[in-house]
A = this chain, B = another copy of it.
Amino acid sequence: MALTKAAINPRILRAKYAVRGPLALKAEEIKKDLQKDPNSHNFKSVTFLNIGNPQQLDQKPLTFVRQVVSLVQYPELLKSPSPLFPKDTLNRARTLLQHIGSVGAYSHSKGIPYIREKVAEFISKRDGFPADPEHIFLSAGASSAVSKIMSMVAANSNVGVLVPVPQYPLYSASSALTGSNFIGYYLDEKAGWATNVEAIKKSLADARKNGVDPKLLVVISPGNPTGSVLRDEEIRNILRLAKEENLTVVADEVYQTNIFKSHASDFVSFKRVWSELCAEDSSFQNVGLVSLHSTSKGFFGECGQRGGYMEVVGMDPEVLDELYKMASIELCPTVTGQVITETMVNPPKAGDESYEVYAKERDAILSTLRERAMQLYETFNKMEGVECQKPQGAMYLFPRITVPAKAVEQAAKENLAPDAFYAMELLKNTGICVVPGSGFGQEENTLHFRTTFLAPGGEDLSNAFVNFHKEFMRKYS
């Protein structure tokens, strides 16, 4: 065998991605069992709460978005349009086609110039500060943007990247793949998973003591898996730190429309605060900032379409050229994903024929998410030894669990971390697939799991969690 596991790139072996890790593989297996024999388990189906995949659960796509995409895919429909299509949808598709030509052609590697202009307009309007289309790179979701930036900074084996813990494991995985040193900084669970600049400074100092050279500071707001939303002042402090310490900031803001306004701060973008700081002190213009957005999250939930963008500011123009070269080696992001990005940054406006349906669908999705989030949150906090921070946004809860000593022993026997054991038992007994906290990172001697709150199921889902937990605690007490 020419290529054995022992012979391949060790960076790949080191990379871990728990969201689709052993728990998810076991869940796929059980799903197959159930297809063959619906009575093979104590439940009828697997509930995939391991991944924020709204349309795999019961979220419907937005009518406006899908209409535009179907029209640009098959422009013949524009000639004798079905009464299904409102006028503004038809016009939108026509305008897009004028700028795109065919969605089957490779586009500009940074994305279609017209769509990048629309993204820049969206950012300007959102922040009250200008954005330059030349600083915008359309991407396949946010993941492909992250891997480019991670690769860009990984100049040698001393380079480090600062990442919150708990984190979305894309960051640890791409750090491993590109050969940089992962430097975790702890979020403050008791303060609703707040980002503490002192914690970042501590990790920074420890890393330097170990000869690591931190280059990148990753921040996720609203947080994944925590849902925590950063406030203006916190962002200022982070950018000030970045300036002092010569760090480039990656602001993962893919959940920017998933915020529970009743009790969370409004979304504030890093780009806005960066622009404010630049206005106060022009030397901030040299603080590198990469902001990520995606069509996969928010109320769009168009994960499978692979749309998104990154905005890159404070960067040496020569580095931008290198980013462009990297994009060109991949040819271009999916053009349909680019189209969906355009509909995200330029949705129907009040008065447009599509607006009413669009607004209704959007509001229904957002209020359902909120309901489900609050219901699960309350459920978890009723469970013995479980503590869950109040969700502020994003799509996940990250409850802290305590398991009895006997369960820890049993986990060790099965060669599993205690939280992985808990999650595996949950899966085997209820069909619910969550991800153990160890996949995201957690403070020593704490245990968690991540679950999306996207799933329908209401009472039944809550009861499944409660009953399993009761039985688990009874069994191992």
Contact = CB atoms under 8 A, between A and B. Distances in A.
A104 B55 CA distance: 6
A434 B309 CA distance: 30
B9 A305 contact: no
Contacts of A106: 51, 53, 56, 296, 303-304
A155 B8 contact: yes
The oligomer's copy count stands at: 2
Interface stretch (A74-82, A258-266, A369-377): A74-82
A17 interface: yes
Interface string A295-310: 0100001111110000
A153 B8 contact: yes
A15 B155 contact: no
A330 interface: yes
Which of A9, A56, A288, A305 neighbours the largest number of chain B CB atoms within 10 Å of its CB? A9
Nearest to A247: B2
A351 interface: no
A107 interface: yes
Contacts of A147: 330
A334 interface: yes
A71 interface: yes
Interface string A4-43: 1101111011010101100000001000000000000000
A409 interface: no
Contacts of A105: 53-56, 303-304
Interface in A288-328: 288, 296, 301-306, 314-316, 318-319, 322, 325-326, 328
* Chain A interface size range: 35 or more
A73 interface: yes
B288 A3 contact: yes
Nearest to A16: B325
B304 A335 contact: yes
A441 interface: no
B80 A74 contact: no
Interface string A93-133: 00000000111111111000000000000000000000000
B334 A143 contact: no
Interface stretch (A61-69, A203-211, A360-368): A61-69
A84 to B, nearest CB: 6
A53 B100 CA distance: 13
Given A61-B102, A109-B20, A1 B74 contact: no
A45 interface: no
Nearest to A83: B80
A328 B69 contact: no
A43 to B, nearest CB: 20
Given A2-B287, A104-B302, 10 more contacts: A3-B152, A3-B153, A3-B315, A3-B319, A5-B316, A7-B155, A12-B322, A76-B84, A107-B304, A143-B330
